[in-house]
Structure 1
Amino acid sequence: MLLHGHGANSSTWYPQIEAFGERHPVYAVDTIDDPGRSVQRALVKDSQDNAAWLNDVFEGLGLERVHLVGLSYGGWLTLNQAVYGADRLASITLLDPGGLQKVPARFLAGAIAGLFAMALPRRWRPWLARVLANHALIAPPRMTAPILLGTRTYRPSYRPAARPFTDDELRSARVPALVLLGGRSTLLSPRKALARVRALVPGVRAEIVPGAGHGLPLEAPDLVNARILRFIDSEVQA
């Protein structure tokens, strides 16, 4: 199951669906309080509420052993599930996730700058993509259009911030874990984040992807796909 980042939707996973779907059943969920076709009827207030919501999704789909993959805020939701609702999890994969460090001001500033950059002529975008470490600026329009539509038309009701998990919470995440961090991430200080997960998350496999920014599945799809499939296959065979 794939969980996208904040303000996006399941179309984020376009570069992954074919590769994953050739070997596994794949579910890409529009997460709660993000643009999608669901109607939210209750506020999700904290970690326990988020874990309960995702467990409801698993139950509704009849899923018992889920390999959960999350990007950014979806990575926070994935890590949160490992801490507060791991009963149905087979493994977790965190792609430049929230929850390892406090969200820095540069991430918020970069997100705003990226929205303004999308309104500029396309000939300027390759340079801006390099400067801002934002590959979405040069992604095909068919991939960015659904996200931009949601940005313009959807207003979230409420969601908890991607707070950093405590050391004790990270130690309690005892499902097999893969962590991939962007070497040019605007969300994390990758070396510090790598050191923290290696020190605290039991048995984690973690690495930094050199040159990649926060949008790992879009920027380095072949590498990301290969790493995730190899990891999941190793857990299935274990």
Structure 2
Amino acid sequence: MTRTSVGHFVSEASRAKFLEAYDRAMELWPSPREELDVETAYGTVHVHRYGAAAGEPVVLLHGHAGHPSNWYPQVAALGEHHPVYAVDTLDDPGRSVQRVVAEGSEENAAWLGEVLSGLGLERVHLVGVSYGGWLALNQAIHHPERVASVTALDPGGIEKVPARFYAHMVGGLFGMLAPRRYRPALGRLLANPALSAPPEMIAPLMLAMRSYKPGSRPPARPFTDEELASIALPVLVLVGRRSALLRPRQVVERVTGLVPGVRAEIVERAGHGLNLERPELVNERLLAFAAGR
């Protein structure tokens, strides 16, 4: 699919209401937190920073239609030893403002590379979940020069997006209509951590569904064997045993067969949002991997 448009809110009033909820969601992060804007050829990219003044930076990339508050269970643990940057990705509802379409893999690697350059980051540990995992792997393939390692959490790009993933999303939306006291049980049943997430985190997602018109971004395309085999960086892939996006065993087999030196693990008792479902395990793996252990 060729992209022809960028995402936008249906009105300035809708955008203002969304951003009010977005700012409340970001209060889930520890303080103090800094906010930065980086100009790129594709638009203005908003970034949140927290954590240590020194150390190798960790850069976080949220999933499709998400926002940086989704990383709230990771930020304090990572920030103790690393500067932590969370990117408001282009073509998702947030404080970034896209002005030019990023049509494909090269263009998406280009804007993210410009963000890393604009932040003055020379060697980063790139961490992404879902579509953010696709962006992280894509960066390792097309513009790896500022990347020290990649951690991909239940990432796009390993398999074609299956129909059950869209059914899972619809089920989660219906789950949001259930009384709040029933949502955690539904979340466990559906392996959907959003149903038991803090309401502050969910509010901007729900508002964006009603008032944000995404651009014509296609689903994360599967990388070719040659692309995955070209990655010359340390890579960690964590896949939820109950993932709605991926077939865990097949994904582990594919990446271990193609990506040189990759570490791959199936995370038990977790679905697609494993950073929310198993935060202690994910934090432990992220810190150990960034430390080279």
Which stretch of the first structure deviates more once superposed, 62-71 or 122-131? 122-131
Q: Which amino acid aligns with 2:71?
A: W
Conserved? CA contact 1:44–1:158, under 8 Å = no
Conserved? CA contact 2:89–2:96, under 8 Å = no
Which of 1 and 2 has higher RCO (CA within 8 Å, sep 6+)? 1
Q: Which amino acid aligns with 1:200?
A: L
Q: What's the counterpart of residue 212 of structure 1? A: 270
Q: What's the counterpart of residue 105 of structure 1? A: 163
Q: State the secondary structure of the residue aligned to 1:26.
A: strand
Q: What's the counterpart of residue 190 of structure 2? A: 132
Match runs of 1:32-47 below 5 Å: 32-47=90-105
The number of equivalent residue pairs is: 235
Q: What's the counterpart of residue 162 of structure 1? A: 220
Q: 1:29 aligns with which of 87, 108, 112?
A: 87
Aligned partners of 1:55, 1:23: CA distance in 2, in Å? 23
Query: How far does residue 151 in structure 1 lie from its aligned partner after superposition?
Result: 2.5
Q: State the secondary structure of the residue aligned to 2:291.
A: helix
Aligned partners of 2:107, 2:214: CA distance in 1, in Å? 16
- Whether 2:291 is the aligned partner of 1:227: answer no
Q: Which amino acid aligns with 1:8?
A: G
TM-score when normalising by structure 1: 0.96
Q: What's the counterpart of residue 120 of structure 1? A: 178
Q: State the secondary structure of the residue aligned to 1:179.
A: strand
Conserved? CA contact 1:11–1:146, under 8 Å = no
Conserved? CA contact 1:43–1:158, under 8 Å = no
Which stretch of the first structure deviates more once superposed, 155-164 or 143-152? 143-152
Q: What's the counterpart of residue 74 of structure 2? A: 16
Pair member with larger Rg: 2
Aligned partners of 1:123, 1:25: CA distance in 2, in Å? 37
Cα distance per residue 1:111-165 (max 9 Å; x no partner): 0110121011123323321221111101121222232233332221232420111
Q: Which has the higher strand share?
A: 2
Q: State the secondary structure of the residue aligned to 1:234.
A: coil
TM-score when normalising by structure 2: 0.78
Conserved? CA contact 2:113–2:143, under 8 Å = yes
Q: Which 5+ residue runs of structure 2 have no aligned equivalent?
A: 1-58
Q: Which amino acid aligns with 2:143?
A: G
Q: State the secondary structure of the residue aligned to 2:236.
A: strand
Percent identity of equivalent pairs: 63
Question: Which of structure 1's runs of 4+ aligned residues deviate more than 3 A?
Answer: none
Aligned partners of 1:191, 1:227: CA distance in 2, in Å? 19
Aligned partners of 1:152, 1:232: CA distance in 2, in Å? 38
Aligned partners of 2:209, 2:78: CA distance in 1, in Å? 27
